[in-house]
Amino acid sequence: MNEVIWKYTLSITSGAQRLEMPQGARLLSVAEQAGKLCLWAMVDPAKSHTTRYVEVTGTGQPLDAGINRRLIGTVITDDFTAHHVFER
């Protein structure tokens, strides 16, 4: 198994976002890069792909109750807006 790190660009929008990535991918971190919100994951490109879901929300924004979430990280952009990225 040869793992590599892949980057995924996220939208700053409410609701779940679909990401197609190899099975067993480990979500590592999120950050702003060149004005875009990005997520990095350790993946094995040889594995078949599966759908994963992430959600981006701002501080003070409501979250739907009853949905299990795991925080990947928080990104503060140049305009001092905080974007919290969760896996659902």
The residue to which tokens 């807006």 are assigned: 81
22-81: pLDDT as tens digits = 999 999 999 999 989 999 999 999 999 999 999 999 999 999 899 999 999 999 988 888
Distance, CA of 6 to CA of 31 (rounded, Å): 13
pTM above 0.85, yes or no: yes
Split into its structural domains, the chain has a count of 1
* For the chain, counts of helices (H) and of strands (E): 0, 7
Whole-number Cα distances in Å, 33 to 1, 10, 24, 60, 75 = 29, 11, 25, 24, 10
Range of the domain at 32: 4-87
